[in-house]
Structure 1
Amino acid sequence: MHEHTALMQRALVAARLGPEADPNPRVGCVVTDRAGTVVGTGHHRGAGTPHAEVDALARAGSAARGGTAVVTLEPCDHAGRTGPCTEALLAAGITSVRYAVADPDPKAAGGAEHLRRAGLDVHVEDDPAMRAAAEAVNATWLHARRTGRPFVTWKTASTLDGRTAAADGSSRWITGEAARADVHRLRARVGAVLVGTGTVLADDPALTVRDADGHPAGRQPLRVVAGRRPVPAGARLLDGHAETLVLPTHDPTEVLAALLDRGVHHVLLEGGATLAAAFLRAGLVDEVVAYLAPVLLGAGPAAVGDLGIGSIEGAVRLETTDVTVLGDDVRITARPRTDHHPRS
């Protein structure tokens, strides 16, 4: 293994310590002295805190002069709530920089070229595995910056015959405890949980991350309701356990634009069949997480509404990326194939 690959691995370990749902990317940095000895390791802890490079340089102190910085993401060249990392690297006397992923954010990009112009030896990581790992650490953040909209995961829980509730509307509980706990872990990883007003009126969900005893736990995602019908004053979404945003629109594009403006880069779509169909018809679902329970109902609402598909040739084809057994239930994770889209 090349020495710089081992250093990038250490930087990736540091990057994963950062908050996944933060508006900013997760970044790790390792600083060595001029002899190649690691003298500082840092990571970004969230919006408004020192960036990974600044964190690592603070730990390295004067030993960083003449040394190398290995960073999972291109050093930023932008002054926001914190100063540019390029200036911090230059002030510390770093002479060489290696990074794994170019920063796609137009406000922060250009750091590598700035450092080259200043005389530093700047390299992009040449190990494909390291580059792929660095991409994966910030998959949804990079998606949002490259596409101009948040990454959308549609989560659904249904019986084997595709029902999300019984004919009388009852749905608690289709899946077992293990699957429900997994949903809370999924919520903890996203910036926002989205439902429509129909789901609020029918199910009165809390949409919080909860512990085994049912109490709100840890960081809470933004709760979002899309639709024009008013949210009842006594709804659990207004209980104060997490922030709630009501967007009076049925347009998925408008919803995602509003969330991107708030720094959200990963949205968990938990709404009913109508909202799911709207996002699918618009081609705005990037991942499906389906919890299937070994239960048969024979009647009741389906997981998704009309997609405007008239024949099997128009079906939305998914590529399965993971299958996990959770108690008696099965979680299937899949992504829409780019060569198949429903027609609206």
Structure 2
Amino acid sequence: MGTDEFYLNLCLQSAWQNQLITLPNPAVSALILDQYGTILSLESHQECGKPHAEVLALQKAYAKLSGDCEILRLSDSAQIHQYLLKCSQNLFNKTTIYVSLEPCGSHKCGRTPSCTSLLKALKPKRIIIATQDRSQNAKGGAEELEQCGIPVTKAWETKNLTSIHQCANSLLYPFNALQTKGRFLLYKYACRLDGSINGGQISSKAAQSKMHDYRAKADFLLLSGKTIREDKPTLDARFASLESKRPPNILILTRDNNFSTDAPLFDIPNREVKILNQINPTLQNINGFIMCEGGAELLSALQPHIDMLLVILQPSFNADFTLTMHLRLSFHLVHSMQIGEDLFLWLLPKNQPML
């Protein structure tokens, strides 16, 4: 593995930790090296509306290079931008910056300032980018940086970085689905090593907290009527690690026109609950991030609409419970990561076109 591929891979591994949590923004990480090749910072975008990965990485790198830690007190993106522009002078001229996604162009309109505008002013020695930003609101940053004289290595134009470019595109799949289709549908499925899926809580507390983070970011949580009737769940985000523990709105797929509303989920204030009697065309008219939780029957019904499957594998066996998934489906593994004791497997359906 070459040097550029190694550091871009570190960025991607870091960005995956915040996958879905940054929506509707993409998950992005940035890494900065000093002139001797020492890592000064590796930072990831945390949530929509908060500073981008490049800004967080520059903030921490500035504090290390200058010894001025006052900048670390700032959390507003515009304030960090202004501080860096005012105080950094030529501090970043010998640094190398790696970014998992092309920095947003200077024409960008949004809650945070353009990262490209900041980088053009700071003039680092070199910038290496894993993949391009195709969104109309933010694309074009790489060309802007080159035009102002900053050397830019673009993985999509570099032969030995083809693999890392493909990995970076997989990271962006949820964001790109929202951009192109207006909807991203994730199916979450948890099981033990023996494939068993019954017998109470399966995932560890750390994995449960991460799933509640995803719930807090979802526009809708989709479940079957069978799950609601049998489990009578609350379906909130009380174990989320995020500041906002907003409970998701609920979609219930059922053929029962007189569906009972005695489950605790119906008692959550400020929540929208929709009953769906059929998938088509109802689901096509619902936009945003839709997260699904359920078993084989629901997965089979939703299979043509699923954009990504998340399997949470708990490292245990349970001889007392033998209920397993019975389906014939194939997926591509695009990423794996450990959360607590559990393994998160991110899968794309085979023959799924890359957005």
TM > 0.5 fold call: yes
Confirm or deny that 1:247 pairs with 2:274.
yes
Unpaired runs of at least 5, structure 2 = 63-83, 336-343
The 5 Å alignment of 1:94-113 reads: 94-113=124-143
Q: Deviations over 1:207-227 (max 9, x none)?
A: 2457xxxxx453456242246
Residue identity in the other structure for 2:103: P
User: Structure 2 vs 1, CA of residues 128 and 75 (structure 1 numbering), >3 Å: closer, same or farther?
Assistant: same
2:248 equivalent among 209, 216, 222: 222
User: Structure 2 vs 1, CA of residues 293 and 39 (structure 1 numbering), >3 Å: closer, same or farther?
Assistant: closer
TM-score w.r.t. the length of structure 1 is 0.64
- How much identity, in percent, do the aligned residues show? 22
| Correspondence for 2:118 | 88
Separation (CA, whole Å) in 2 of partners of 1:149 and 1:21: 16
RMSD of equivalent CA atoms: 4.6
| Correspondence for 1:325 | none
Separation (CA, whole Å) in 2 of partners of 1:107 and 1:90: 18
| Correspondence for 2:186 | 152
| Correspondence for 1:318 | 330
Residue identity in the other structure for 2:211: R
Separation (CA, whole Å) in 2 of partners of 1:45 and 1:332: 21
| Correspondence for 1:22 | 22
Residue identity in the other structure for 2:100: T
* 2:43 match: secondary structure: strand
Q: What is the CA distance between 1:142 and its match in structure 2?
A: 4.3
The 5 Å alignment of 1:294-313 reads: none
TM-score w.r.t. the length of structure 2 is 0.63
Separation (CA, whole Å) in 2 of partners of 1:224 and 1:7: 40
Q: What is the CA distance between 1:21 and its match in structure 2?
A: 2.5
User: Structure 2 vs 1, CA of residues 207 and 110 (structure 1 numbering), >3 Å: closer, same or farther?
Assistant: same
User: Structure 2 vs 1, CA of residues 248 and 129 (structure 1 numbering), >3 Å: closer, same or farther?
Assistant: same
Q: What is the CA distance between 1:37 and its match in structure 2?
A: 5.5
Residue identity in the other structure for 1:184: Q
* 1:15 match: secondary structure: helix
Residue identity in the other structure for 1:284: I
Decide whether the 8 Å contact of 1:226 with 1:255 is kept in 2: no
| Correspondence for 1:170 | none
Separation (CA, whole Å) in 1 of partners of 2:128 and 2:346: 34
Between stretches 189-198 and 54-63, larger displacement belongs to 189-198
Separation (CA, whole Å) in 2 of partners of 1:181 and 1:39: 32
User: Structure 2 vs 1, CA of residues 288 and 175 (structure 1 numbering), >3 Å: closer, same or farther?
Assistant: farther
Separation (CA, whole Å) in 1 of partners of 2:34 and 2:195: 61
Residue identity in the other structure for 1:131: H
User: Structure 2 vs 1, CA of residues 99 and 297 (structure 1 numbering), >3 Å: closer, same or farther?
Assistant: closer
| Correspondence for 1:7 | 7
Confirm or deny that 1:47 pairs with 2:48.
yes
Residue identity in the other structure for 2:251: V
| Correspondence for 2:302 | 279
2:233 equivalent among 193, 201, 205: 205
The 5 Å alignment of 1:67-216 reads: 67-77=95-105, 78-125=108-155, 126-135=160-169, 137-145=171-179, 148-153=182-187, 155=189, 174-178=198-202, 184=208, 187-188=211-212, 190=214, 191-192=217-218, 193-197=221-225, 199-208=227-236, 216=239
Decide whether the 8 Å contact of 2:22 with 2:45 is kept in 1: no
Separation (CA, whole Å) in 1 of partners of 2:35 and 2:189: 49
Separation (CA, whole Å) in 2 of partners of 1:99 and 1:224: 38
Separation (CA, whole Å) in 1 of partners of 2:44 and 2:210: 23
The 5 Å alignment of 1:319-334 reads: 319=331
Separation (CA, whole Å) in 1 of partners of 2:3 and 2:296: 51
Decide whether the 8 Å contact of 1:100 with 1:134 is kept in 2: yes
Decide whether the 8 Å contact of 1:32 with 1:64 is kept in 2: no
Q: What is the CA distance between 1:240 and its match in structure 2?
A: 3.9
Between stretches 92-101 and 282-291, larger displacement belongs to 282-291
Which has more helix, going by share of residues?
Answer: 2
* 1:127 match: secondary structure: helix
Decide whether the 8 Å contact of 2:27 with 2:172 is kept in 1: yes
